[in-house]
Amino acid sequence: MILIPHRFARAGVAVAWAAVLLFLSGCGAGGPKTAPVKGTITYKTKPVPYGTIMFQPENGPAATGEIKDGNYVLKTDKWDGAVLGKHRVTVISLQDQAERLPEHRTPFPPAVVPLEYSFPDRSNLTAVVEDKDNVINFDLK
C-alpha cells in the first residue's frame, strides 16, 4: 500500500474540485456561452436556395443552420446561436431530387455550390462569433 502525505492528499482534492468547478462553469446546465448568428449566403451573387451551413469552433460544439432562400440562423445542440470565438465554416447545397422519380435520381446529386465549400479543410471560410447579435454573410465564388 502506498501512503500519501496528508498535505498532498488535501491538495489533490482541491485540484480535483477546481477541475470540476471549471468544467461545470463552461458546460453546466446553461451550456457553453453562445451568441445569436444569422446571415445570408450567395453564390455568384445569387441566394443559395437551400442547404446547410456549419460553424465548427476551435473548442466546443458545432452550430448548424438550414439555408432557405439564401438566409440562415444557427443553432448549437440545444441552444440558439454559436459558441463564441473563431470558427471554420462549411456550406453544403446539393440539387433537390425530391420531384424526380426514383429511377431518375442520381446517387450523388449535383452540387449547387462548389463541393470545396463542403469540407472544413478546403472551404477557406472562417467566421468570428462575438458576444452580440452577429450577422455574418458569405458571398461564395
Q: Check if the beta carbon of residue 96 is closer than 8 Å to that of residue 54.
A: no
CA 27 to each of CA 58, 64, 82, 83, 108: distance values in angstroms, whole numbers, following the listed order: 16, 19, 14, 11, 38
Q: Taking the chain (141 residues) in consecutive chunks of 10 residues, what is each chunk's mean pLDDT?
A: 42 36 46 94 95 95 97 94 97 79 71 92 95 97 90
Domain ranges of the chain: 34-140
Buried b (16+ CB within 10 A) or exposed e, 11-44: eeeeeeeeeeeeeeeeeeeeebebbebbbbbebe
Helix (H, G, I), strand (E, B) or coil at 18: helix
- Looking at 3.30.365.10, 3.40.920.10, 2.60.40.10, 2.60.320.10, the CATH number of the domain 34-140 comes to 2.60.40.10
Cell numbers for 8: 498532498
